[in-house]
């Protein structure tokens, strides 16, 4: 990877991590630059409109990472029940690994910016729609129709998002593991 491309990726990864942990509004461009190791010129070269464009890129990256993880789980777990349990185990592991400092990699940013930022809102919609689509495919191969599968997939995502918040507040993975047992 060319050095310039490395700077861009480092900026986005750093923004993604900081937005997730401390929020979009509480994260400054100077902190992102300092922690990414990228030169200041890289920030404005790749993200000429500033923080909002970086936020959109961070949502796209984080959304893609979750979609890839769900796709991998869908390949390994053919049944919806084992898929959901696998999803919950991964998310519980991530939460525990972060010391309950992190939650969903896009929720904090979206809660602070949607709908005021159309670009970040659209990135969030793309991300969540891609997650739902992976789950829809898992449910449909178990015989559900598309409409029912979509509704249930949205329920799974909504339950996980709520469980991540409860897990972070309570400092335990129990709410996430309860989702695995109840859905």
The whole-number pLDDT of residue 183 equals: 78
The whole-number pLDDT of residue 159 equals: 97
Q: Where are the domains of the chain?
A: 3-182
pTM for this predicted structure: 0.91
What does DSSP assign to residue 34? H
CATH number of 3-182: 1.10.357.10
The whole-number pLDDT of residue 8 equals: 93
Whether the CA torsion 164, 122, 31, 111 is positive or negative: it is negative
The whole-number pLDDT of residue 1 equals: 53
3-state helix vs strand vs coil in the chain, percent to 5: 80, 0, 20
pLDDT by position in tens, the chain (length 183): 566 578 899 999 999 999 998 899 999 999 999 999 999 889 989 999 899 999 999 999 999 999 999 999 999 999 999 999 999 999 999 999 999 988 888 999 999 999 999 999 999 999 999 999 999 999 999 999 999 999 999 999 999 999 999 999 999 999 999 999 887
CB-side neighbour CA atoms (13 Å) of 19: 30
């Amino acid at each position: 990877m060319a050095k310039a491309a490395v700077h861009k990726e480092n900026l986005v990864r750093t923004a993604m991590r900081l937005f997730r942990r401390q929020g979009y509004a509480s994260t400054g461009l100077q902190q992102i630059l300092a922690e990414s190791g990228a030169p200041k010129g890289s920030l404005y070269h790749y993200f000429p409109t500033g923080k909002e464009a970086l936020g959109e890129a961070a949502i796209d990256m984080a959304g893609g990472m979750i979609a890839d993880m769900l796709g991998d789980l869908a390949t390994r777990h053919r049944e919806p029940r084992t898929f959901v349990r696998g999803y919950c185990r991964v998310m519980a592991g991530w939460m525990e690994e972060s010391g309950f400092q992190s939650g969903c990699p896009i929720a904090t940013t979206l809660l602070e910016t949607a709908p005021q930022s159309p670009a970040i809102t659209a990135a969030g919609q793309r991300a969540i729609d891609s997650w739902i689509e992976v789950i829809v495919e898992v449910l449909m191969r178990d015989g559900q129709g598309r409409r029912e599968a979509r509704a249930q997939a949205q329920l799974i995502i909504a339950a996980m998002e709520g469980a991540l918040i409860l897990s972070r507040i309570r400092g335990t993975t129990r709410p996430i593991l309860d989702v695995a047992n109840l859905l």
